[in-house]
Amino acid sequence: MAVLMLAFAAAAQSVSIQKDGAGYKVAGWNPGSEDPPDGWSSIFALYAGEGDVPPMLGTYSVEDEVLVFRPRYPPTPGVRIRAVFRMPDGPPLEAVFQTAKANAPPSTYVEHVYPSTDVLPDNQLKLYIQFSAPMSRGEAWKRIHLLDETGSPVELPFVEIDQELWSPENRRLTVLFDPGRIKRGLLPHEEVGPPLIEGRQYTLVIDSDWRDARGVPLKEGFRKQFRVAPSDRVPPDVSNWRLIVPEAHTADAVVVRFPEPLDWALLQRVFDISGPAGPVAGSVAVERDETEWRFIPAEPWRPGEYQLLVDTVLEDLAGNHIGRPFDVDLNEFNQGMERVIPKTVSLWFWVGEK
């Protein structure tokens, strides 16, 4: 027994806490073969950050007579890690590990804000903010402002949805104007009116403080000025669209032109073309401030009849979609919501030889 005690004391002289790959180990101390009654965290614990905090989650193992802790999640660069080894019958041993905080220069920027046009109806429903790289969640509503002509902020123009409506890669944020202020007959609409007033100029301002997914602010802020036109309460009508049809054996685009800008995101996906050989594969471009949709086929067009299938979910800037205005005036549409709106409408075109 005396010999063992001596051996432990000698070992204790050289006990140290070391970082070892993704783990942290207590070197120079033999943990023995049995787990301590209160678990390994009662002997060896790692604390991230300052203050009275619980130890980091992770797993313990004894490898070659060495106690090793592996964090459940790799510590974020820049976080201070304090490791405490509470040696049985000895003073606690501490070690601090701090990795350098990633210090990347700002490079992310706002690529574009849709709609592209600088004339928006006073019942404009949404904006899409497209970034050059993935962004952080949780601060959108602090970073987006709408200023009126005098440069004063418009109060709460947007629906501040906690979840934030991002695309999967966090590169595109959907911002909804407060529908309560757009919908006619609602209290916010009556009390404070719509967020946009016809005839006035506004500036959308995006702060450069907004952090990208790396935690680095934007390279620069973004401003978009626009003027406000009267309300648009007329649903898009496919009979007003103009089709420019390609010739057979070419890979020219089929082009659809609209009399008003339509929703940029929906235009990417609501059209499908099928022809003599079934569905046509190809790529889509949306041009001319979202008043033009172009489809370039992967293979040259075969002669024959083609169907352009349009999902009626397609919206204009004010959220009117095919066959149904954003807010239905029940005095005009007696059937109201019971009206059946088809899921799709079709336009047909003929691709002929030269």
Partner 1 sequence: MSINRFSVVVAGLAVVLALSGPFAFSANLDSLNAGRVGIQSAGPMAFGPDAILFVGDSAGAAIIAIDTGDRTPAKSAAKVDVKNIDQKIAALLGTTPDQILVNDAVVNPISKNVYLAVSRGLGPDAVPVILRVNAAGTITELSLDNIKHSVARLEDAPAVDAKDSRGRGLRVQTITDLAYVDGKVFVAGLSNEEFTSSFRSISFPFQGVSKSAGIEIYHGNHGRFETYSPIRTFLPFQLDGEPHILAAYTCTPLVKIPISALKPGKQVKGVTIAELGNRNRPIDMIAYNKGGQEYFLMANSSRGVMKLALKGLEKFQAITSEVDDKEGVPYETIAELQGVLQLDKFDDNNAMLLTDDNGSLNLRTVPLP
Interactions with partner 1, residue window 234-293 (CB under 8 A)? 263, 265-266, 268-269, 282-284
Which residues ranging from 315 to 334 are in contact with partner 1 (CB under 8 A)? 315, 319, 321, 326-331
In sequence order, the 6+-apart residues with CB closer than 8 A to the CB of 288 are 257
Q: Residue 137 is which amino acid? A: R
180 lies in the binding site for partner 1 (CB under 8 A): yes
Which residues ranging from 136 to 175 are in contact with partner 1 (CB under 8 A)? 136-138, 155-156, 159-163, 165-170, 172, 174
215 lies in the binding site for partner 1 (CB under 8 A): yes
Please give the Cα distance from 283 to 147 (Å, whole number).
37
Closer to partner 1 by CB, 64 or 155: give it: 155
Rounded to a whole number of angstroms, the minimum distance from the CB of residue 168 to partner 1 is 5
Which residues ranging from 52 to 91 are in contact with partner 1 (CB under 8 A)? 53-57, 71-76, 78-79, 81
Closer to partner 1 by CB, 7 or 341: give it: 341
In this chain, which stretch among 30-38, 88-96, 110-118, 313-321 interacts with partner 1, using CB under 8 A?
313-321
Q: Residue 6 is which amino acid? A: L
Please give the Cα distance from 333 to 315 (Å, whole number).
19
Contact residue for partner 1 among 142, 184, 200, 249 (CB under 8 A): 184
Residue 137 carries which DSSP code?
S
Rounded to a whole number of angstroms, the minimum distance from the CB of residue 79 to partner 1 is 6
Contact residue for partner 1 among 28, 36, 179, 323 (CB under 8 A): 179
Closer to partner 1 by CB, 107 or 283: give it: 283
Q: Pattern of binders to partner 1 over 102-141, x per CB under 8 A?
A: -----------------------xx-------xxxxx---
Token pair recorded at residue 148: 């009126």
Please give the Cα distance from 130 to 113 (Å, whole number).
6
Please give the Cα distance from 100 to 112 (Å, whole number).
33
Asked if the peptide bond before residue 115 counts as cis, ω within 30 degrees of 0, the response is yes
Rounded to a whole number of angstroms, the minimum distance from the CB of residue 85 to partner 1 is 18
User: Coil, helix or strand for 84?
Assistant: strand
Please give the Cα distance from 156 to 282 (Å, whole number).
41
Do residues 24 and 18 make contact, with C-beta atoms less than 8 angstroms apart?
Answer: yes
User: What phi and psi, each to the nearest 5 degrees, are found at residue 142?
Assistant: -90, -20
Q: Pattern of binders to partner 1 over 7-46, x per CB under 8 A?
A: ----------------------------------------
Do residues 180 and 131 make contact, with C-beta atoms less than 8 angstroms apart?
Answer: no
